């Protein structure tokens, strides 16, 4: 890691080499261009935000990052290696976890089981020892349970451990979903509008959790968010998208003063 590859944040954390690099990504659905020739990187330990008006292609970008969509052009590099044709579940095994804009929890399962599903990429016992249960399978289950219990403590959701997630209020579901992503101990965590639909208090809680995750576990985070205030507060660097194109990239301060960004948000007519 050479010196040019890292930078220091205002609050004194060292940001390292790129974890993920998006190079000239273009994504089309039939004739519709959702993402047009976008490049940026996400560095070790940073909180990277992607912002932009509705329909700018942010969620599509996240879907490209975790392999749900395959871009027609461009390359995705993860931890120094170019990504070949892969299925989303293989990418999850590489260490990318995410949450969803519209909560995608497993409704028939309890909070605990939902977060335990996050550990699936780490659980390796075969079917025969599962059938036997006593021995390897039980040991693995218990070991992973301990880690999940730490996450449950961290997110302060001990009391809803055994509640079916379908019964939980919206804010708590979002938290459980974050827990499931954290349980995977990801190298890169993608958050799709983690604060959408929350009130100020819930947003503050969620912001705190995101900062703590980054701080305590050193997790690299990329997030999409609408609330500019929140983004400016927690993000280290920001990518701004509009109509599938990148119109700004830099620290919150730089982005805030970027004329293109101001135009996009205040709605200057496009030619």
Partner 1 sequence: MSANFYFGVEVFLNGLMAGVMYSLVALGFVLIFKASGIFNYAQGVMALFAALTLVGFQNGQIPFAHLINAIFGTDLHHFGWHMPAFLAILCALGVMILFAFLVERYILKHLVNQEPIILFMATIGLAYFMEGFGDLMWGSDIKKLDVGIPQGGNIWLEENTAFLGGEDFYGFYLDNLDIWATVLAAILVTSLVLFSQYTKTGRALRAVADDHQAALSVGISLRSIWVIVWSIAGFVALVAGIMWGSKSGVQFSLSLIALKALPVLMLGGFTSIPGAIIGGLIIGVGEKMFEFLIGAPFLGGATENWFAYMLALLFLVFRPQGLFGEKIIERV
Partner 2 sequence: MIYREAGDFKTSYAKDQQTFPIAFDRWGYFITLAFAFLVVPFIINDYWINAVVLPFLIYAIAAIGLNILTGYCGQVSLGSGGFMAVGAYAAYKLMTGFPDLNIVFVIFLSGGVTALVGMLFGLPSLRIKGFYLAVATLAAQFFLVWLFNKVPWFYNYSASGQISAPERSIFGYAVTGANALPAVSYLFCLCFVVILAWAARNLTRGANGRKWMAIRDMDIAAEIIGVNPLKTKLTAFGVSSFYIGIAGAMLFAVYLGAAEVGEAFGISKSFLILFMVIIGGLGSIFGSFAGAAFMVLMPVLLKNVMVGQLGWPTDMAAHFEFVIVGGLIVLFLIVEPHGLAQLWRLAKEKLRLWPFPH
Nearest of 96, 216, 112 to residue 154 by alpha carbon: 216
Q: Which token pair is 250?
A: 């830099």
Residue with tokens 């997110």: 155
User: Cα(1)–Cα(221) distance, rounded to whole angstroms?
Assistant: 20
User: Cα(266)–Cα(268) distance, rounded to whole angstroms?
Assistant: 6
Nearest of 66, 68, 67, 36 to residue 52 by alpha carbon: 36
Could you tell which of partner 1, partner 2, none binds residue 6, using a CB distance below 5 to 8 A set by kind? none
Instruction: Give just the sign of the alpha carbon dihedral 122, 125, 130, 135.
Output: negative
Q: Does 196 bind partner 2 (CB under 8 A)?
A: no
In the complex with partner 2, which residue's Cβ is closer, 104 or 268? 104
For the segment 15-34, give every residue that binds partner 1 (CB under 8 A).
29
Q: Does 127 bind partner 2 (CB under 8 A)?
A: yes
Report CA-CA distances (Å) from 162 to 49, 53, 107, 179. Answer: 33, 38, 13, 14
Partners of residue 103 on adjacent β-strands = none
Could you tell which of partner 2, partner 1, none binds residue 137, using a CB distance below 5 to 8 A set by kind? partner 2
Q: Does 132 bind partner 2 (CB under 8 A)?
A: yes
Nearest of 21, 27, 37 to residue 81 by alpha carbon: 21
For the segment 18-77, give every residue that binds partner 2 (CB under 8 A).
66, 68
In the complex with partner 2, which residue's Cβ is closer, 123 or 232? 123
Q: Does 118 bind partner 2 (CB under 8 A)?
A: yes
In the complex with partner 1, which residue's Cβ is closer, 68 or 217? 68
Residue with tokens 């497993």: 106
For the segment 73-102, give every residue that binds partner 1 (CB under 8 A).
100-102
Give me the 220-259 binding string for partner 2, x by CB under 8 A, dash otherwise.
----------------------------------------
Could you tell which of partner 1, partner 2, none binds residue 29, using a CB distance below 5 to 8 A set by kind? partner 1
Strand pairing category for 81-82 and 73-78:
antiparallel
Given 9, 16, 23, 68, the residue binding partner 1 (CB under 8 A): 68
| Alpha helical stretches, state H, 118-216 | 127-132, 136-154, 170-183, 200-216
Beta strands in 83-162, from DSSP E residues, in sequence order: 96-98
Cα-flanking dihedrals φ and ψ of residue 221, to 5°?
Answer: -130, 135
Segment near partner 2 (CB under 8 A), from 1-9, 21-29, 51-59, 94-102? 94-102
Q: Does 63 bind partner 1 (CB under 8 A)?
A: yes
Q: How many residues bind partner 1 (CB under 8 A)?
A: 7
In the complex with partner 2, which residue's Cβ is closer, 159 or 257? 159
Residue with tokens 């701004």: 240
Give the residues lining the site for partner 2 (CB under 8 A).
66, 68, 87-89, 92-93, 97-98, 100, 104-109, 113, 116-121, 123, 125, 127, 130-133, 137-138, 140-142, 145-146, 149, 180-181, 184
């Amino acid at each position: 890691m050479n010196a040019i590859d890292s930078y220091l944040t205002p609050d004194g954390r060292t940001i390292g080499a790129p974890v993920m690099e998006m190079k000239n990504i273009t994504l089309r659905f039939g004739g519709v261009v959702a993402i047009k020739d976008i490049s940026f990187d996400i560095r070790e330990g940073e909180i990277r935000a992607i912002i932009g008006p509705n329909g700018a292609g942010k969620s599509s970008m996240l879907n490209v990052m975790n392999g749900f969509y395959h871009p027609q052009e461009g390359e995705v590099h993860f931890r120094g290696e170019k990504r070949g044709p892969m299925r989303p579940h293989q990418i999850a095994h590489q260490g990318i976890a995410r949450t969803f804009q519209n909560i995608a929890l497993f409704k028939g399962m309890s909070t605990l089981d939902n977060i335990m599903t996050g550990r699936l990429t780490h659980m390796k016992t075969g079917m025969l020892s599962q059938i036997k249960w006593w021995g390897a399978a039980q040991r693995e289950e218990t070991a992973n349970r301990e880690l999940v219990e730490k996450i449950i403590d961290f997110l302060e959701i001990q009391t809803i451990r055994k509640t079916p997630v379908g019964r939980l209020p919206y804010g708590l579901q979002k938290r459980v979903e974050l827990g499931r992503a954290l349980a995977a101990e990801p190298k890169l965590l993608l958050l799709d509008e983690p604060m959408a639909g929350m009130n100020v208090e819930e947003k503050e809680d969620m912001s705190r959790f995101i900062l703590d995750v980054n701080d305590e576990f050193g997790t690299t985070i990329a997030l999409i968010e609408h609330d500019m205030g929140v983004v400016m507060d927690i993000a280290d660097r920001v990518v701004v998208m509009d109509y599938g194109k990148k119109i700004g990239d830099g620290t919150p301060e730089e982005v805030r003063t970027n004329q293109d960004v101001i135009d996009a948000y205040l709605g200057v007519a496009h030619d």
